[in-house]
């Protein structure tokens, strides 16, 4: 028998086959994405804790119901209006740095619409710091020092939100998760936008970029700026203890 | 002139493409190794909601996942269920689960654990609230509501 010559296999299409495999792989793999809205849950409440009294104007009440409707400060709002409402609340009677002082709001009223921002003055703080140091209360002195740094960075005194001012969110058990997340997102957007605004005016850089640069470089001067802005616009979103609000509807 | 002509007469051989498959295979393997795959099978259908204030966790090994949504397999019904690791779970199991997952982390990092909640957007808040309450009791307070990113609305 005559030996047949084995013809050489053409490998020209090999590359195409490999490319096909590669593309198939790229299309079918789902890469886990770990991004989302960050939240710190409150620690469990001890049963014997007393309910704190808060002024009506100091809490911005956001409620959602089972029909995915929003009730904000006893008014029905759409999700698109929530951010501006929250911003108004957080600016309140003005920061003393940027915003107009809102002359049309009558303060001292029983039914105050906004929390009253209080002046943080350098002269008072310096005295306070000395007294804390003398009393050996280091933690409190440290807090006062943070405020002093903020004043130095802003170049002027500022007004801070009262400690009791917060945004309270209460969801019904039958609210959709989507709406809940949108509300959380809008509230956070309100804080972030105000922070950006202030940061751009004072430091010529957005707050987001400050944070991003700090996470890379860990520069202490950046942290001071971030802390200063957080003092003026703290993120205080509290979630009320859950309750089945739908009970009242039926 | 003739000098140049002589040169141009020389035929340059065709570039061998024999190594092209090897190069592409190397690419393929690189991608296969480099992509972080889902470590567990998703047993529930999750369509993540969109959000603009997105935070990205850098240290992925600190994240543990809770999936909530309707089961992929219709035989288990259409009501949203909770998936921990690769099995369905009840709300009361969450506290034990948190404890166990914490032990898988290095001691110094146990307090830094993140719980990423991948919840389907049509889920009712009741289940989610229950899960959150359990997480609070288990002191797993750092929570990430998984979402895909979008632009801020004006």
pLDDT on residue A51: 67
Closest to B126 (Cβ–Cβ): which among A42, A174, A193?
A: A174
User: Looking at the domain assignment, is residue B16 inside a domain?
Assistant: no
Structural domain of B57: 50-149
Q: Is the pLDDT of residue A250 over 60?
A: no
Residue A54 CA to chain centroid, in angstroms? 22
Q: Confidence class of residue A188 from pLDDT cuts 50, 70 and 90? A: very high
The C-alpha atoms of residue A197 and residue A154 are separated, in whole angstroms, by: 13
Contact between B96 and B134 under an 8 Å Cβ cutoff? The reply is no
CA distance B28 to chain A (A): 5
pLDDT on residue A173: 86
Residue holding tokens 């609230």?
B129
Nearest in space to B140 (alpha carbons), one of B37, B41, B65: B65
User: CA torsion A150→A152→A153→A158, rounded to 10°?
Assistant: 50
User: How large a percentage of chain B has pLDDT more than 70?
Assistant: 90
* Average of per-residue pLDDT across B55-70: 88
Beta bridge partners of B66: B84, B117
User: Looking at the domain assignment, is residue B62 inside a domain?
Assistant: yes
Q: Is the pLDDT of residue B71 over 80?
A: yes
Q: Which residues in chain A have their CB less than 8 angstroms from residue B145's CB?
A: 36-39, 181, 184
The DSSP line for A46-89 is: PTTPPPPP--GGGEEEEEE-TTS-EEETTEEE-HHHHHHHHHHH
Q: Confidence class of residue A144 from pLDDT cuts 50, 70 and 90? A: confident
User: How large a percentage of chain A has pLDDT more than 70?
Assistant: 85
Do residue B21 and residue A17 have CB atoms under 8 angstroms apart?
yes
Total tally of structural domains belonging to chain B:
1
pLDDT on residue A2: 63
Closest to B53 (Cβ–Cβ): which among A17, A30, A185?
A: A185
User: Looking at the domain assignment, is residue B59 inside a domain?
Assistant: yes
Nearest in space to B83 (alpha carbons), one of B95, B71, B73, B74: B71
User: Looking at the domain assignment, is residue B103 inside a domain?
Assistant: yes
How many other CB atoms sit within 10 Å of the CB of residue B116? 22
User: Looking at the domain assignment, is residue B35 inside a domain?
Assistant: no
Tokens of A153: 């960075």
Tokens of B14: 């065709």
Q: Is the pLDDT of residue A138 over 70?
A: yes
| Most confidently predicted of A10-14, B17-21, B92-96 | B92-96
Q: Is the pLDDT of residue B59 over 90?
A: no
Name the residue with higher pLDDT: B5 or A119.
A119
pLDDT on residue B1: 52
User: Looking at the domain assignment, is residue B14 inside a domain?
Assistant: no
Mean pLDDT of chain A: 82
- pLDDT for A103-135, tens place per residue? 566 555 555 677 878 888 888 888 888 888 888
Closest to A178 (Cβ–Cβ): which among B31, B52, B122?
A: B122
pLDDT on residue A110: 54
Q: Measured in Å, how far apart are chain A's first and last C-alpha atoms?
A: 95
The C-alpha atoms of residue B84 and residue B40 are separated, in whole angstroms, by: 10
Mean pLDDT of chain B: 85
Instruction: Give the helix/strand (H/E) hosting A37.
Output: strand A35-40
Name the residue with higher pLDDT: A31 or A151.
A151
pLDDT on residue A181: 93
The C-alpha atoms of residue B98 and residue B94 are separated, in whole angstroms, by: 6
The CA-based angle B134-B136-B138, given to 5 degrees, is 70
Half-sphere exposure of B55 (CA within 13 A, CB side): 19
pLDDT on residue A135: 85
- pLDDT for A55-71, tens place per residue? 667 888 898 888 888 98
User: Looking at the domain assignment, is residue B38 inside a domain?
Assistant: no
- pLDDT for A204-219, tens place per residue? 999 999 988 998 888 8
The CA-based angle A112-A116-A121, given to 5 degrees, is 165
- pLDDT for A220-230, tens place per residue? 889 999 999 99
Do residue B143 and residue A39 have CB atoms under 8 angstroms apart?
yes
pLDDT on residue A247: 55
Q: Which residues in chain B have their CB less than 8 angstroms from residue A19's CB?
A: 24
Q: Is the pLDDT of residue B101 over 80?
A: yes
The DSSP line for A155-222 is: TS-EEE--TT-EEEEEE-TTSBHHHHHHHHHHHHHHHHHHHHHHHHHHHSS-HHHHHHHHHHH--HHH
Contact between A162 and A117 under an 8 Å Cβ cutoff? The reply is yes
User: Looking at the domain assignment, is residue B17 inside a domain?
Assistant: no
Beta bridge partners of A72: A62, A75
**Closest residue, chain B, to A23 (C-alpha):** B28
CA distance B22 to chain A (A): 8
Interchain contact A9–B (C-beta under 8 A) = no
Nearest in space to B123 (alpha carbons), one of B71, B63, B69: B69
Closest to B55 (Cβ–Cβ): which among A35, A80, A193?
A: A35
Q: Which residues in chain A have their CB less than 8 angstroms from residue B141's CB?
A: 40-43
């Amino acid at each position: 028998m005559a030996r047949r010559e084995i013809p050489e296999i053409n490998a020209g299409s090999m590359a195409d086959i490999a490319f096909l495999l590669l593309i198939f792989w790229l299309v079918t793999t789902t890469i886990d994405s770990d991004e989302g809205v960050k939240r710190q849950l409150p620690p469990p409440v001890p049963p014997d804790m007393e309910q704190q009294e808060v002024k009506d104007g100091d809490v911005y009440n956001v409620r959602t119901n089972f029909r995915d409707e929003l009730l904000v400060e006893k008014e029905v709002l759409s999700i698109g209006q929530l951010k501006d409402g929250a911003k108004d609340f957080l600016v309140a009677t003005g920061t003393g740095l940027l915003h107009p002082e809102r002359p049309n709001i009558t303060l001292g009223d029983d039914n105050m619409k906004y929390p009253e921002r209080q002046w943080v003055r350098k002269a008072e703080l310096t005295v306070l710091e000395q007294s804390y140091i003398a009393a050996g209360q280091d933690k409190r002195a440290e807090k006062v020092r943070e405020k002093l740094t903020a004043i130095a960075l802003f170049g002027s005194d500022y007004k801070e939100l009262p400690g009791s001012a917060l945004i309270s969110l209460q969801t019904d058990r039958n609210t959709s998760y989507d709406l809940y997340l949108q509300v959380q997102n809008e509230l956070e957007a309100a804080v972030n936008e105000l922070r950006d605004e202030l940061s751009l005016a004072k430091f010529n850089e957005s707050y987001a970029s400050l944070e991003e640069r700090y996470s890379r470089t860990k520069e202490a001067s950046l942290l001071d700026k971030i802390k200063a802005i957080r003092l003026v616009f703290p993120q205080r979103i509290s979630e009320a203890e859950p309750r089945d609000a739908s009970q009242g509807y039926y | 002139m003739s000098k140049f002509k002589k040169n141009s007469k020389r035929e340059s051989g065709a570039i061998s493409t024999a190594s092209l498959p090897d190069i592409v295979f190397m690419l393929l393997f690189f991608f296969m190794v480099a992509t972080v795959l889902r470590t567990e099978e998703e047993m529930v259908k999750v369509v993540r909601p969109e959000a603009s204030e997105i935070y990205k966790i850098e240290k992925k090994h600190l994240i543990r996942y809770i999936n909530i949504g309707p089961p992929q397999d219709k035989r288990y019904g259409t009501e949203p269920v909770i998936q921990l690791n690769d099995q369905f779970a009840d709300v009361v199991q969450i506290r034990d689960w948190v404890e166990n997952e914490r032990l898988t982390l290095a001691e110094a990092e146990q307090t830094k654990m993140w719980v990423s909640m991948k919840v389907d957007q049509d889920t009712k808040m009741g289940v989610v609230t229950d899960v959150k309450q359990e997480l609070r009791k288990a002191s797993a307070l750092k929570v990430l509501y998984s979402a895909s990113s979008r632009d801020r609305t004006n």
